[in-house]
Amino acid sequence: MWLRMIPTGLGMSTRTTFGDDQTETAHTLTFTLHLAGQDRLKLETGEVFQNPAYASVRGNKKEIFAHLNVRPASDERDPSHTNNMRYFEAVTGDDYGSPPSIHFEVSAPASDYSLLLNNIRGGILPSLVTVGLRHNLHDKGSPVKYDYAPDGSMMIWDNAAQQNRRVDVESIELHYRLIGDADDDDGEGANPPTAKASIDAASIAIVAKLAELEKAFVKGNGLIVTVVIIACAVLFFARH
């Protein structure tokens, strides 16, 4: 079973442990995620993991959010014990509280982690994260399963029992969008250009028009041509 998710936030933490013999430093990249497109993961505890854009339409009031922690694998740590999806119930106290959440823990080979970190430092961020969960289609006792949707967009996680609150992660894929596409991963079409992009495009067009009128400015009356240039600029912005 695969969960296709969109990263909406990114953080990085570094923890240094001082020992008698040596000092150890651990790095973690943390992505905030929501499901892509119209996929839904319904939890037995009542929450729904989905794209927030569809929450109001579906009337789901108990949304749940997810985080993906990616760490470099170490020789002392067995990756088989760290690659999993876990459910954490809400915690409340007198002066603190946290909502229920889903956490993906992934231990990546050092070389893969370094590549991911270098991409992020260079401004290349993942546009889609696909996590493969351990799932047996014919095993009725599997905690994650597909629901009635024929396209596989509806999934169920029987997470009420403590032993089902941890599901093994078998694979993870990070996808990058290097060149703009007509459709985004949420299936809602390309994002509209930003205001700055529109202004930049208008400025380029006006500069080109100024270059065309430069000769006319030299030959004709400067005041008249200046009025024409201003009128062209106003007309261009009015149309855009």
To which residue do tokens 């024409």 refer?
228
Q: Are residues 43 and 111 in the same domain?
A: yes
Q: Are residues 26 and 105 in the same domain?
A: yes
Q: For residue range 115-134, what is the model confidence (pLDDT) as tens digits?
A: 999 999 999 999 999 999 98
Q: Are residues 209 and 118 in the same domain?
A: no
Indicate if the pLDDT at residue 223 is higher than 80.
no
Cβ within 8 Å of residue 204, ≥6 positions away: none
Residue 186 belongs to a domain = no
Query: In the predicted model, what is the mean pLDDT of residues 212-233?
Result: 50
Quick one: pLDDT at residue 93? 77
Q: Where are the beta strands (DSSP E) in the chain?
A: 2-18, 23-35, 40-43, 48-50, 65-72, 84-88, 91-92, 97-98, 101-108, 128-133, 144-146, 154-157, 166-175
Q: Are residues 200 and 170 in the same domain?
A: no
Q: Which domain holds residue 117?
A: 2-175
- Top mean-pLDDT range of 72-81, 139-148, 216-225: 139-148
Quick one: pLDDT at residue 178? 84
In the sheet with 48-50, reading across from the earlier edge strand, the strands are 48-50, 40-43, 154-157, 144-146
Q: Are residues 138 and 225 in the same domain?
A: no
Share of the chain above pLDDT 90, in %: 43
Indicate if the pLDDT at residue 234 is higher than 60.
no
Q: For residue range 59-105, what is the model confidence (pLDDT) as tens digits?
A: 666 889 999 999 998 745 555 458 999 999 998 877 778 899 999 99
Quick one: pLDDT at residue 214? 57
Q: Are residues 80 and 155 in the same domain?
A: yes
Quick one: pLDDT at residue 210? 56
φ, ψ at 188 (rounded to 5°): -110, 10
Residue 184 belongs to a domain = no
Quick one: pLDDT at residue 64? 92
Looking at the structure of the chain, the number of domains it has is 2
Position 151 confidence tier, pLDDT thresholds 50, 70, 90: confident
